[in-house]
Amino acid sequence: MDLTEEHAPSPALIADDVHVTYYIHGGRRTATASTGRTIASLFGAGLAKSGRRSIEAVKGVSLVAHHGERIGLIGHNGAGKSTLLRALAGLLPVSGGAVYASGSTALLGVNAAMSPSLTGAQNVILGGLAMGLTRDEIEARFDDIAAFADLGEAINLPMRSYSSGMSARLKFAISTANIPDILMIDEALSTGDTKFRTKSMAKMEEVREHAGTVFLVSHNAATVQSFCDRAIWLEHGQVVEDGPVDDVLPRYTESMKG
C-alpha cells in the first residue's frame, strides 16, 4: 500500500476545463457598409447581426484544490480572476466544463447584493438567510455582527443613507458570520478605513483557521504572500502558472515590471 497516497489530502474542489462566456447586447447595425466595417473593427468578429457579441472571460481552466489549501488567484486587471472565483462559488453559470465541490461554498466580498431600501438590521437577516443561516442562528449572531460593523444606531436606518464605508463594514460583518467548507474571498481584506482593515484582517485570520479551503483574489502581493501557500497566475482567462506561492508570486511580480 502506498502510504503517501493514503494520507494525501482529499480534493475539496475540482474545476474541469471551465469556460465562462459573457454576451453583450448592443444596438441595431446601421445600413451602410462603411459604418458596419467600423463597428466590426471596434467589436471584432463576435458581433452578430443581432448586435450581440461574446467575451470569453475564462478559457479552459482546470485545477484541483485540496482540503486545507490557501490558494491565491493573481493576475492583471481583466485576467479573469473574479469571474473564475464566482464560477467556482456557483454564482456564475459555466459555458463549458464543470465544477465539483465536496462541501459548502461561499463568496466573501464587499460587493454582495444588499437591498438599499431595507435597514441595516433587516439586511443582516437577509444576508444571513442568503448565506444559509437559520433565523435562530442569525438572531444568536446579530449582536456580534452589529458590534463588528460598528454602526451604532444607524443599524436601524435604510442602507441608502449609509456612506460607502458604512455599507462595506456591514457587508463584511455579515459575510464573516458563517464559515463555509470552501471560502472564496474577493478583495475583502481591503475593506474600509485603516482601523477597520486591521480589524477585518484579524477576523480573516480567524476565518482562515476554521475554513477548510480558501481561495483569495487580491492585487496585494504582500497579502497573497502571507495568506496563501499556493498561487494560480491567470492571464486572459487562462492559467499561466500554478504552484507554491513562493515560486509563482516572484515570477508574476517580475512580469509586472515589464
> How do residues 134-150 score in pLDDT, each as one tens digit?
999 999 999 999 999 99
Output the pTM of the full model: 0.75
What is the number of other CB atoms lying within 10 angstroms of the CB of residue 156? 12
CA–CA separation, 52 and 140 (whole Å): 48
Residue 4 pLDDT: 47
Confirm whether 196 is domain-assigned: yes
Confirm whether 238 is domain-assigned: yes
Phi–psi pair at 44, nearest 5 degrees: 85, 180
Confirm whether 228 is domain-assigned: yes
Residue 27 pLDDT: 52
Confirm whether 41 is domain-assigned: no
Residue 219 pLDDT: 85
Region 165-194: what's the mean pLDDT?
Answer: 81
Residue 7 pLDDT: 55
Confirm whether 2 is domain-assigned: no
Number of domains present in the structure of the chain? 1
CA–CA separation, 64 and 195 (whole Å): 36
Which CATH number fits the domain that encloses residue 220?
3.40.50.300
Top pLDDT among 219 and 241 is at: 241
What is the number of other CB atoms lying within 10 angstroms of the CB of residue 1? 5
Residue 209 pLDDT: 76
pLDDT in tens, 66-113: 998 999 999 999 999 999 999 999 989 999 999 999 988 888 765 555
- Residue 151 cell numbers, joined: 454602526
The chain-wide mean pLDDT, for the chain, equals: 84
Region 233-258: what's the mean pLDDT?
Answer: 94
Closest CA to 99 of 12, 197, 219: 12
Domain range for residue 225? 68-257
